[in-house]
Amino acid sequence: MNHIETRIVGPGKVLRGEFVVPGDKSISHRSIMFASLAEGKSRISGLLRGEDCLSTLQAFQSLGIEVEDRAADELIIHGRGLDGLCEAGDVIDCGNSGTTMRLMSGILAGQPLFSVLTGDRYLRNRPMARVIEPLTSMGATIHGRSNHSKAPFAICGGGLQPIQYHSPIASAQVKSALLLAGMQIEGTTTVFEPHLSRDHSERMLRYFGADINSFKGGASVTGRVRLTGRDVVVPGDISSAAFFLVAGLIVPGSELLLQNVGVNPTRSGVIDILQQMGGSIKLLNEREVCGEPVADLLVKSSDLHGIAIGGEVIPRAIDEFPVISVAAAFADGETTINDAKELRVKETDRIAAICDCLGGLGAAIEPRADGMKIVGGRPLAGGQVKSFGDHRIAMSMAVAGLVAQESVEILDTSCTETSFPGFWDLLNMIQAG
């Protein structure tokens, strides 16, 4: 089989260092999207140049948005307002990015344009009915593969009516898609969700001048309010920081300072969970940047114990369960993860992938329909694991390699470029102290 890049991570070194992680992926996507829909110039700094965000950038360039590429993490976007997008001359390729595809669906449903969205083989298999159905009930015409539930799909946008939508899942992508559609039309569109999902769209749309109302149980937008170009500073991604939080906790004698990390409470479930497991993580220098809470995180190696995880914390930590599972495999006693069925439809089926990888290294782990059970404390052997083409599985297995008895060889690691360019260099750097 032809694997793209293999990495070997071995045990044995104490981790030390102070560093920043790349910009937040969710916030970077939104900054490009909302700046494009605003009127005038927006300067975005701290932007994540991962493949996912580049898919969003290219999508807007294909819709006629002019972008000035400044420095490695800085862009200037010349927004054209709510009615300024042009029809793309070709299919829009969202790559591996669910956020690009689902949020773009909401934006394009409101535009009187014909658009076709597709993605890589993983994204083409992910469920899209969750946005296609409510956008269709708002009045968009969307035709797609598998009875309009999968990409590629085609959108004939425009002529929408506001709705009140009760989402069956706590999904920021669904919520954002509907708010973005509703933002373009007269009237108020409301989305209710079972638990609060990440609220970056609400915060940033408000920052750009939209009429957004957040309330317990959901959010609403009253449309046709002009957005104005603003400067956005993107904080470090807590989902990327999570790999180093867990590494710092489980490698004995380690101490790491992660600077400038976004700690929005709708994203910081991983900190709550790891602290509850006994982890020493301190938030220092807490501040607010462009409407988002930010802090420096000091992590020291700790003795962890198993806990029961479920309910409202699940959407607040949804992307971190691969690496939380690694922490659980090293913790004393049993950790259970429930209410996390959404893990089955991420970049890969993450419940199956985590069980395959950690089980293959010797962990006592069992899948459940909506989560898993891990009995920690048994040492992990080394060995070979697959990434399943999923960036977060690859990086979580690298963290496991730091504390396994022998090296862990991870197959197909080029996917880490999706969210964390420079991950392997940073890992080497902190291993060298």
319 is catalytic: yes
From the list 33-41, 69-77, 168-176, 401-409, the region that binds ligand S3P by CB under 6 A is 168-176
Q: How far apart are CA 60 and CA 67, in angstroms?
A: 9
- Shortest approach of ligand S3P to residue 342 CB, angstroms? 6
Q: Are 269 and 324 in contact (CB under 8 A)?
A: no
Beta bridge partner(s), residue 258? 19, 297
- Shortest approach of ligand S3P to residue 282 CB, angstroms? 26
Cβ atoms within 10 Å of 12's Cβ, excluding its own? 9
Site residues for ligand S3P, window 241-300 (CB under 6 A)?
A: none
Which CB sits closer to ligand S3P, 256 or 354? 354
Token pair, residue 246, equals 């867990």
Site residues for ligand S3P, window 196-225 (CB under 6 A)?
A: 197-198
In sequence order, what DSSP letters do the residues of 225-275 get, joined into one string?
PPPB---EEPPBPHHHHHHHHHHHHHSTT-EEEEEEEE--TTTTHHHHHHH
Tell whether residue 318 is a contact of ligand S3P (CB under 6 A): yes
From the list 108-116, 170-178, 279-287, 398-406, the region that binds ligand S3P by CB under 6 A is 170-178
- Shortest approach of ligand S3P to residue 321 CB, angstroms? 10
Distances (CA, A) of 110 to 29, 64, 187, 224: 18, 16, 13, 11
Residue count at the site for ligand S3P (CB under 6 A)? 11
- Shortest approach of ligand S3P to residue 197 CB, angstroms? 6
Which CB sits closer to ligand S3P, 235 or 382? 235
Figure out which of the listed residues 26, 28, 184, 416 binds ligand S3P, where binding follows CB under 6 A: 26
- Shortest approach of ligand S3P to residue 329 CB, angstroms? 22
From the list 53-61, 132-140, 169-177, 202-210, the region that binds ligand S3P by CB under 6 A is 169-177
Distance of CA 292 to the CA centre of its chain: 16
Dihedral (CA of 128, 170, 353, 243) sign: positive
Token pair, residue 424, equals 């392997």
Tell whether residue 171 is a contact of ligand S3P (CB under 6 A): yes
Tell whether residue 105 is a contact of ligand S3P (CB under 6 A): no
Beta bridge partner(s), residue 367? 372
Which CB sits closer to ligand S3P, 173 or 240? 173
Burial of 255 (0-12, 13-18, 19+ CB in 10 A): middle
From the list 32-40, 159-167, 172-180, 402-410, the region that binds ligand S3P by CB under 6 A is 172-180
Which CB sits closer to ligand S3P, 56 or 111? 56
Which CB sits closer to ligand S3P, 171 or 240? 171
- Shortest approach of ligand S3P to residue 409 CB, angstroms? 26
Tell whether residue 173 is a contact of ligand S3P (CB under 6 A): yes
Distances (CA, A) of 287 to 40, 230, 284: 28, 19, 9
Kindly write out the interface string for residues 126-165 of this chain, putting x where it contacts ligand S3P by CB under 6 A and - elsewhere: ----------------------------------------
Burial of 280 (0-12, 13-18, 19+ CB in 10 A): middle
Tell whether residue 319 is a contact of ligand S3P (CB under 6 A): yes
- Shortest approach of ligand S3P to residue 260 CB, angstroms? 19
Longest dimension (CA), the chain: 61
- In angstroms, how far is the first alpha carbon of the chain from the final one? 36
Out of 52, 296, 319, 390, the active site residue is: 319
Token pair, residue 40, equals 């005038």
Site residues for ligand S3P, window 65-104 (CB under 6 A)?
A: 99
DSSP state of 377: -
Integer Rg of the chain from CA: 21
Tell whether residue 395 is a contact of ligand S3P (CB under 6 A): no
- Shortest approach of ligand S3P to residue 92 CB, angstroms? 18
DSSP state of 194: S
Token pair, residue 338, equals 């429930």
Q: How far apart are CA 356 and CA 367, in angstroms?
A: 10
Tell whether residue 52 is a contact of ligand S3P (CB under 6 A): no
- Shortest approach of ligand S3P to residue 206 CB, angstroms? 16
From the list 171-179, 228-236, 260-268, 290-298, the region that binds ligand S3P by CB under 6 A is 171-179
Residues 6+ apart with CB under 8 A from 324: 242, 246, 270, 273, 274, 309, 317, 337
Supply the residues annotated as catalytic.
319
Interface residue list for ligand S3P (CB under 6 A): 26, 99, 171-173, 176, 197-198, 318-319, 342
